[in-house]
Structure 1
Amino acid sequence: MAVPRRRASASAGGTQGLKRAHYREARLPLLLLLPQLLVLLLFFFVPALRALSQSFVLTDPFGNSVQFVWLDNFRSLLASPEYRASVGVTIRFTLAQNALTIAVALVLAFATDRVLRGRGLYRSVILLPYAIAPVIAGILWAFLFNTAVGPLSFVLHGLGIDWDPNRNGVDAFLLVTFAASWKHICYNYIFLIAALLSVPPSLLEAAAVDGAGPMLRFVRISLPMIGPTIFFLVVMNFVYGFFETFAIVDAVTHGGPGGATMILVYKVYVDGFVHIDLGSSAAQSVLMMIFALVLTVLQFRYVERNVNYDV
């Protein structure tokens, strides 16, 4: 077996640098990477190539005939009012979920230092939704706001609010947004609380000596210093909103009413597995991936300019 040969490099100041492993043969590192490469090949590259090839063909529901149609699937999608409406719903849903998730997680992270007793219980309660499956979270919120038996629905009706997510598209959109945000707040909280703990205490103490209160110290010192973490969470929340909220939508509204919650990832499922339109479903998958990549590039190119990485 190949034995790693380690070589230590010294820095200019004479201190010993990080040690790196060097292998005489490429066989061992390739074997170590093989499991991960197989996972990527079977669950990412093969399905992606299959979806890309399927987007250029027209297949009957039984798979007996396959006709190459080039870009007709994409043209039909871009000309479809239902698809354009789904794009708009997805953008609004992702933006609302992103803003709500980060805002609530910031408030909870800021309040952590204000909790004097039961801080461990406080953190455990916040992190509890992270252990709940998305479909269970969707069922929970659907029950709480059910117009017939939901306790929170009774509260809203008692306040004079005509709440009905089964018929009102705005109510359904709000319900799905709240459910998706509640499920993802704990993920944002973990990173934000770790970022706040990395803020140098000396800066906060100096600001306190100068008379700055807790809120002013948070806004003027802590918040700018955790900018890279917030930017990372914005990107991850966009990925979550685009690709990881299928189970919540399926459990709560099934894309209704009237397509008010028909986000792109759910429309891919409906067209592909309900309507058996495999070509259109594959084309939607390709467009959704391209859209997510373009959005991420724009975020890194323009939004990141306002992020300060200096500590």
Structure 2
Amino acid sequence: MEKRATFSNLWLAAAFIAPQMLLVFIFFYWPSGEALYWAVTLEPPFGGTNEWVGWLNFQTVFSDPKYWNSVWVSIIFAAAATFTSIVIAAMLALFVDRRLPGHHVYQFSFFLPYALAAPAVGLAFRFIFSPDAGFVAAINRVFPDLWNPALNGWDALALIVFAQSWKMVGYNFIFFLAALQSIPRTVVEAGAMDGAGVLARMRDIQLPLIAPTLFFLLVINITDSFVDSFGIVDITTHGGPARATDLMVYKIYFDGFEGKDYSLAAAQSIVLMLLVMALTFVQFRFIERRIHYR
């Protein structure tokens, strides 16, 4: 007969749960409720009584070509940044897991980028990839106007993709390395004894066994690309040039705080939240089927 642990003191359990539930309510449910209320009303920019408008704000959002441009830019940005950061982190973790000389130093240094705030990352990349002051300036002297994120939209989009990928590589690296180290050494050694080389063992043994971690990081990176990229865009490109990097999260800020249209920004935030939820559902519904946890 299986024995199960029970906790009979409900008041003590409630006391432990209450602080966490209070934080979730204050920082998630309450702001979400306020955003939904503002999305179906007209919020005066300088105070006053809200006017009920129903779905008018959402109709305005969906009829705006600039908004659909921000949606497509956000999807391209999320896909490119997620793919780049996951691929680089997986390669770094695979080589560090081989315990080459100095691997402890690599473990520490590879994680450092994630400890930096997004605005700091954006400021660093804005300087490094500046066409007239960073190391790219030397390349531009040989190939004039090869790189100029201030004028070329694709260069600006590539710049924020590089910055977002670099920031997330450290986070992904830690999870990949932990997953690789959980694989029994006997399995990898058996593959080596059967004649599989280093790359073959990585491709046929290690990567399939860390598929659950890969799926988890896929969800986290896509979500982070949609909701936590404001600092990078605001410091590096300000959504330009010509709205080439006007991500959804940045457009919410610009319409709400610069344009003083809080109701329109609230409607956009609701759409963004629903989009992230839909993408997460699709990943769990279709991609997780291919993941084996045992």
**Fold conserved between structures, TM > 0.5:** yes
Structure with the largest fraction of helix: 2
Q: Whole-Å Cα distance in 1 between the matches of residues 54 and 97 of structure 2?
A: 58
Q: Which residue of 1 aligns with 2:281?
A: 297
The corresponding residue for 1:3 is none
Give structure 1 stretches of 5+ with no counterpart. Answer: 1-9, 12-16
Question: 1:36-67 CA deviation, whole Å, 9 max, x = no partner?
Answer: 11111111111100000000012332223422
Distance 1:154 1:240 in 2: 31
Aligned: 1:155 with 2:138 = yes
**2-structure distance, mates of 1:207, 1:124:** 29
Aligned partner (choices 8, 14, 17) of residue 30 of structure 1: 14
Instruction: Name the amino acid aligned to 2:290.
Output: N
Whole-angstrom CA distance in 2 between matches of 1:67 and 1:260: 34
Point out 4+ residue stretches in structure 1 off by more than 6 angstroms.
Answer: none
Q: Answer with 1 or 2: which has the greater Rg.
A: 1
Q: Shift of residue 155 of structure 1?
A: 3.4
- 1:68 equivalent to 2:69? Answer no
Alpha-carbon distance in structure 1 between the residues aligned to 2:248 and 2:119 = 18
- How far did 1:127 drift? 1.0
- Compared with structure 1, are the counterparts of its residues 262 and 212 closer, same or farther at alpha carbon in structure 2 (3 Å cutoff)? same
Q: 1:125 aligns with which of 109, 129, 132?
A: 109
1:134 alignment partner AA: A
Shift of 1:21: 4.2
Following the alignment from structure 1 to structure 2, what is the Cα–Cα distance between the partners of residues 120 and 192? 15
Question: In 1, distance between residues paired with 2:114 and 2:44?
Answer: 41
% identical aligned pairs: 39
Structure number with higher relative contact order (C-alpha < 8 Å, ≥ 6 residues apart): 2
Deviations 1:54-108 (A, max 9, x none): 0001233222342211001101111100000000000000000010011000110
Matched, 1:232 2:222: no
Q: Report 1:181-192 matches (<5 A).
A: 181-192=165-176
Structure 2 residue 21 is matched with structure 1 residue 20: no
Opposite residue 29 of structure 2, the aligned amino acid is: F
Aligned-pair CA distance for 1:148: 2.6
CA contact 2:97–2:180 (8 Å) conserved in 1: no
Q: In the alignment, residue 202 of structure 1 is paired with which amino acid? A: T
Q: Distance in 2 between matches of 1:220 and 1:307?
A: 15
2:182 corresponds to: 198
The CA distance in 2 between the partners of 1:29 and 1:300, in whole Å, is 31
- The AA in structure 1 aligned to 2:5 is R
Give how far 1:226 is off.
0.5
Deviation string for 1:146-198 (max 9, x for gaps)? Answer: 12321x22233145262111111001000000001000000000000011111
Separation (CA, whole Å) in 1 of partners of 2:174 and 2:266: 35
Corresponding residue SS for 2:245: coil
Task: Give the length in aligned residue pairs.
Answer: 293
TM-score by length of 2: 0.96
Q: Write the letter of the residue equivalent to 2:24.
A: L
SS at match of 2:61: helix
Matches within 5 A, 1:1-311: 10-11=1-2, 20-24=5-9, 26-114=10-98, 116-150=100-134, 152-160=135-143, 162-310=146-294
Q: Secondary structure at the match of 2:42?
A: strand
Superposition RMSD in Å: 1.4
Residue 256 of structure 1 aligns to a residue whose secondary structure is coil
